[in-house]
Amino acid sequence: MKNILEKLEQRRIKARLGGGQARIDAQHARGKLTARERIELLLDHHSFEEFDMFVQHRAVDFGMDQQEKIPGDGVVTGWGTVNGRTVFVFAKDFTVFGGSLSETHAAKITKIQDMALKNRAPIIGLFDAGGARIQEGVAALGGYGEVFQRNVLASGVIPQISLIMGPCAGGDVYSPAMTDFIFMVRDTSYMFVTGPDVVKTVTNETVTAEELGGASVHTTKSSIADRAYDNDLEALLQMRRLIDFLPESNVGEAPVLPTFDESDRLDISLDTLIPDNPNKPYDVKELILKLVDEGDFFEIQGAHAGNIVTGFARIEGRPWASSPTSRWCWRACSTPTPRARARASCASATASTSRS
């Protein structure tokens, strides 16, 4: 039994190395973390339970049977907790076949999708891949079809979050497009159906990866991405923050968290925030930050369509989505003067129409 356990541990060590130390070093040199490093940062410490660590591809065409079969087949899947709440996660491993999707790779993802839907828990996908594994042809494309079907089945039932952390193309951007939220990492993540080389060949137009599908394009022009972050660490920590604002499913409620923000506090600056002249603008974000708990506001698509502000926050520990407008009025009525009450009530209505 001791020998069996030792062999099993050796297999685990090999699987955790993915494509090998050289490829891990190359990933770090690009300013990116590995799949398992990302999961470790995203989830609570030691909460991750991995599934199908030793799965390998079954392809034999185009010399695939002659290549080394790497355990895990380019994706790490499992479940864990974020601030104590259950989430399911899969992370593409770029060090293994460029994170490309094969038949067994897709089966690992769909298994996690099914488990998330069955358990009514959020699912988070960390994408860093080059699309389908072309050596597997239709089998790989069929795998994408299975993933897409589950995206549709889960829509409106559980939160689906996609975090683009590398150069993703083809099916690896179709699936995120069907999820609820998409976030990107500046300078290292890209989303496009086909890359710059294909565009050059077909249209004879020279375009960079950033111009074609970088974070700046998708957060300011296409509005496909909800937010962009400077690096992997910041992006993953912000995902932990977002989870606290979301219910686990359509039959649950977002958590109510303790707050140190007094419910009857006064903010005299609200007296002068809205100008007397209705033709003069004011900063609605400043209003939101002054009203919500601890000034904590998670904005969505802040770089796009600047004439509306959307996002998540809490009042008295409750997310906005579950706080009726009367709560805003109750806060407004706590201001000391008639003029201040009128201003705060107006601010309340403006903020209410600005949230989603």
Q: What is the 3-state secondary structure (H, E, C) of 77-143?
A: EEEEEECCEEEEEEEECCCCHHHCECHHHHHHHHHHHHHHHHHCCCEEEEECCCCECHHHCHHHHHH
Rounded to the nearest 5 degrees, what angle is found at the Cα of 138, between the Cα atoms of 129 and 204? 60
Cβ atoms 145, 167 nearer than 8 A: no
Q: Which CATH architecture has domain 12-243?
A: Alpha-Beta Complex (3.90)
Identify which of 206, 18, 25, 213 has the alpha carbon closest to the alpha carbon of residue 131: 213
pLDDT score at 342: 32
pLDDT score at 147: 94
pLDDT score at 320: 65
Residue given tokens 């809490």 in the structure block: 314
Please report which residue ranges of the chain form alpha helices under DSSP H.
2-16, 21-29, 35-42, 103-119, 138-154, 171-177, 196-203, 209-213, 215-220, 232-243, 270-273, 284-291, 325-333, 338-354
Angstrom distance (rounded) from CA 35 to CA 336: 54
Angstrom distance (rounded) from CA 74 to CA 19: 8
Q: Which two tokens stand for residue 324?
A: 């009726």
Other C-beta atoms lying within 10 Å of the C-beta of residue 172? 26
pLDDT score at 13: 87
Per-residue pLDDT in tens (0 to 9) along the chain, 356 residues: 778 888 888 888 888 888 889 999 999 999 999 999 999 999 999 999 999 998 887 776 777 767 777 888 889 999 999 999 999 999 999 998 888 888 899 999 999 999 999 999 999 999 998 787 877 778 888 889 999 999 999 999 999 999 999 989 888 899 999 999 999 999 999 999 888 888 888 988 888 888 899 999 999 999 999 999 999 999 999 999 999 999 999 998 889 998 888 878 888 888 888 888 888 888 889 989 998 999 899 999 999 988 889 999 998 888 864 333 333 332 333 333 333 333 333 333 333 333 33
pLDDT score at 235: 96
Cβ atoms 226, 300 nearer than 8 A: yes
Q: How far is CA 298 from CA 14, 119, 160, 227, in A?
A: 39, 26, 17, 10
pLDDT score at 60: 66
List the chain domain ranges. 12-243, 270-354
pLDDT score at 350: 38
Angstrom distance (rounded) from CA 47 to CA 324: 35
pLDDT score at 337: 33
Query: How far from each other are the two terminal CA atoms of the chain, in whole angstroms?
Result: 57
DSSP state of 254: P
Q: Which two tokens stand for residue 146?
A: 């299975």
Angstrom distance (rounded) from CA 197 to CA 42: 33
Identify which of 52, 43, 60, 105 has the alpha carbon closest to the alpha carbon of residue 236: 43
pLDDT score at 2: 78
Angstrom distance (rounded) from CA 356 to CA 352: 8
In whole angstroms, what separates CA 93 from the centre of its chain?
Answer: 16
Angstrom distance (rounded) from CA 40 to CA 159: 20
DSSP state of 206: -
Q: pTM value? A: 0.84
Angstrom distance (rounded) from CA 286 to CA 297: 10
Cβ atoms 131, 172 nearer than 8 A: yes
